[in-house]
Structure 1
């Protein structure tokens, strides 16, 4: 039996964290390629460090990589898009500047062995881009149907970024937040600890705490902190050297930040840098979509869904639903019926149902892939709650 009273903690990292810089660059490449060819295949990994950005991975697509080489002009477009992404984050530092870092592109054509297993041919449907297990989760503890610890950690950093982008001179791009919450009867009741480490302008360490604390309080529920809440703001005392100059960044190293802050299992696959034929990404989005709709329909307070795949095989190998003892519907009923609501959850059915073959991914690279508002152009389509009526009919 699960505990109802406990402490739980989640962390988030800002768009300027070196790993998130890498994620943003990788997803910028995905968007660039999908804009040219909605059926493009992309697996782009990025490494960032002091004044250096390196791309590596496998790609395929019309107007991108054809006949074992780059299409005319695309290499210059890639570099321009990468530099623009870093500029948008805000890096204009001596040791990491969007206009002057060294850029190395080592992307190359996709393996034919992978392509033959994944591509549709004859009567064979498009297969999964890899084997693996994917999880989705939702909880009614926040309006976004996300774990409160992670949602509030994200909200803190989004607020600081908003202030910084509006023209502030104190805060720099790199930051990390962490929120510990006391739960009573399974519900979040108060923050016991708040940790923030944020990069700041040179010589301004003493100004940080007084500046950021009111901003943090703005994004937390009223009364969520009290006299006993422990605050740690820049606990090392100084944070001037940040971003890729302070630490190396790699695509896909913040998978818990990207998903549920540790409140749910994780299959291990990263999202950023992958086109939506990769079920690491698209099936994880589908799992979140289904779990969120279950909770939005009032069929459970919490829901975890797992789906598994085999490389080159379209049909999922298994589905598991866990309502954590809060369900108002049989988990076996959901396991039997829910995938049918999205065409059986084959890779192509997921992509078509959620409209994933679009350049919508760079915006997801920071502050979580989940708990966001769906965009009019199809971004965050997996956050829609348009299955609620169909799910209620199953109860």
Structure 2
């Protein structure tokens, strides 16, 4: 069982949409979106490289879609804000090379229904994937990564919506938040690091003032009562940035994309991969499961591990770890609950989360500021609470007062729809006990 230390400091980082690796993630996911829009059965594994004046799009793609590669890539770069040679990278002037070929037929038969050694749709690769949730924030995410994301996201919003006022900001930036925890709960921000690309003429005081204003806006005041160490552009200058400062590649920000270093990571990246790739889809399902477990009050923290073999539909293993915060002494009971409630086959995941036909969201939306903890994505829904509580109650004694029976919750949530099923469950349990006494 995992440890929860009495007191410690934990740190997570984030990067903005203008970071070179994130430029590549967004292009790769824009390719995926374009393919799925025209052909939902597309098989996509798109890798992008960007450097000074150059974008290279490569990978294995089998699709009926017709893609205007240059227009797509330049559109992403322009949306981010790289629109001038003065910045060091320009959507209009950069070269775009495309080196794409089709998916291996050997892999294809393993993930296609009725082909390969198994009739069902198998996993697109072997590996283990993780999902995580914690009740320390309303997003049911680790506080450090939530606030690191919000800092760079707000700075990007200001740069784009008020370009004259914040003309000194350029697209590339990074953030880092260090939080003190006591008994597993966040209590205070200890340090904030922000490095933001800027114009040559910017006055350092301008950025320092702006960053501190943003921090106060996006981080709750209760965490800022102590003395916070600020390190803002600690090298003293950040004019050369973006793809002109560092070569970017798809899939190099996997910790930023997930939980900021909290919990485990299977090593597989997300962006540019269609949902037949369990690196992506199973990680989304892991988050979906973990979030619903925490939202239901069955645990304060939860990590889900799923493992697959290529071409095989059923997961080889499912592991549930509540870090000692679960309502059951043995997490193996929660594993049984999970198996009963969720379909974790590749086809089941795709169907449950609607991963072939995104409607109100796009894969490109996921490619900056984290795949988890933001509303609008189907894996962020908390619509399995009632089923989880019903299944969990099968393992409860008649006189128990655990969350699945009484509906008590210890998480920082305001959404009434999250606690409503548990309240109904409590009423049902009370009525059942009253009837028994009569």
Shift of 1:107: 1.1
Bigger radius of gyration: 2
Is the CA contact 1:41–1:59 (under 8 Å) kept in the aligned structure 2? yes
After superposition, the Cα gap between the structure-2 partners of 1:227 and 1:117, relative to the gap in structure 1 and judged at 3 Å, is: closer
The structural deviation recorded for 1:99 is 1.1
- TM-superposed deviation, 1:334: 2.1
Find the aligned partners of 1:394 and 1:227 in 2 and give their Cα distance. Answer: 44
Higher relative contact order (CA 8 A, sep 6+): 1
1:227 positional shift: 4.9
1:332 aligns with 2:332: yes
Q: 1:205 to 1:236 in 2, by over 3 A?
A: farther
In the other structure, the counterpart of 2:147 is 152
- Counterpart-to-counterpart distance in 2, 1:51 and 1:355: 37
Aligned mates of 1:83, 1:298 — CA distance in 2: 46
Pair 1:389-2:386 in alignment: yes
2:168 aligns to what? 170
CA contact (8 A) 1:205 1:237 kept: no
Offset from partner CA, 1:208-237 (integer Å, 9 cap, x none) = 111221112100101322452111011111
Residue number in structure 2 paired with 1:69 = none
Alpha-carbon displacement from aligned partner over 1:28-68 (angstroms, at most 9, x marks no partner):
00000000111100000000000100011001122x3xxxx
2:115 equivalent to 1:118: no
Name the TM-score, length of structure 2 as normaliser: 0.84
**Which of 96, 101, 104 is the equivalent residue of 2:89?**
96
Deviations 1:304-346 (CA, angstroms, capped at 9, x unpaired): 0000000011111000000100001342122123134232x11
Pairwise CA RMSD: 1.2
Pair 1:272 & 2:284 matched: no
Supply the distance in 2 between the matched residues of 1:92 and 1:4 (Cα, whole angstroms).
49
Q: Provide the secondary structure at the position in 2 that maps to 1:223.
A: helix
CA contact (8 A) 1:309 1:317 kept: yes
Contact 2:124/2:276 (8 A) holds in 1: yes
Once the two structures are overlaid, the 10-residue window that deviates more, 281-290 or 53-62, is: 53-62
Q: Tell me the matched-pair count.
A: 378
Is the partner of 1:8 in helix, strand or coil?
strand
Higher mean C-alpha deviation, range 215-224 or range 295-304: 215-224
- What are the superposed Cα offsets for residues 89-137 of structure 1, whole Å, 9 maximum, x if unpaired? 1102313101110000001111111111221116701110000000000
2: CA distance between counterparts of 1:186 and 1:2? 6
Structure 1 position 78, deviation (Å): 2.2
Q: Contact 2:340 / 2:391 at 8 angstroms: preserved in 1?
A: no
Stretches of structure 2 that go unaligned for 5 or more consecutive residues are: 393-438
Which structure 2 residues correspond to residues 134-283 of structure 1 after superposition, within 5 A?
A: 134-168=129-163, 169-206=167-204, 207-283=206-282
Deviation sequence 1:11-31 (CA, Å, 0-9, x none): 000000000000000000000
Deviation at 1:4, TM superposition (A): 2.4
Q: What is the distance in 2 between the residues matched to 1:93 and 1:255?
A: 29
C-alpha contact 1:129 1:311 (8 A) present in aligned 2: yes
Kindly report structure 1 stretches of 4+ aligned residues shifted beyond 2 Å. 339-343
Distance in 1 of aligned mates of 2:286 and 2:242: 32
Query: For residues 339 and 86 of structure 1, do their structure 2 counterparts lie closer, same or farther at Cα, with a shift above 3 Å needed?
Result: farther
Greater shift in the superposed pair: 221-230 or 260-269 = 221-230
Partner of 1:128: 123
SS at match of 2:220: coil
Match of 1:369 among 352, 361, 371: 371
- Provide TM-score, normalisation by structure 1: 0.93
Q: Give the distance between the partners of 2:149 and 2:55, measured in 1 at CA.
A: 26
Residue 56 (structure 1) aligned to one of 58, 75, 82 = 58
1:8 matched to 2:14: no
Could you tell me whether the CA contact under 8 Å between 1:205 and 1:239 is conserved in 2? no
SS at match of 1:34: helix
User: In the TM superposition, what whole-angstrom CA distance separates every residue of 1:256-302 from its partner, at most 9, and x where no partner exists?
Assistant: 00000011100000000000000000000000000000000011110
What CA distance in whole angstroms lies between the structure 1 residues aligned with 2:185 and 2:304?
21
- TM superposition shift of 1:205: 4.0
- Counterpart for residue 296 of structure 2: 297
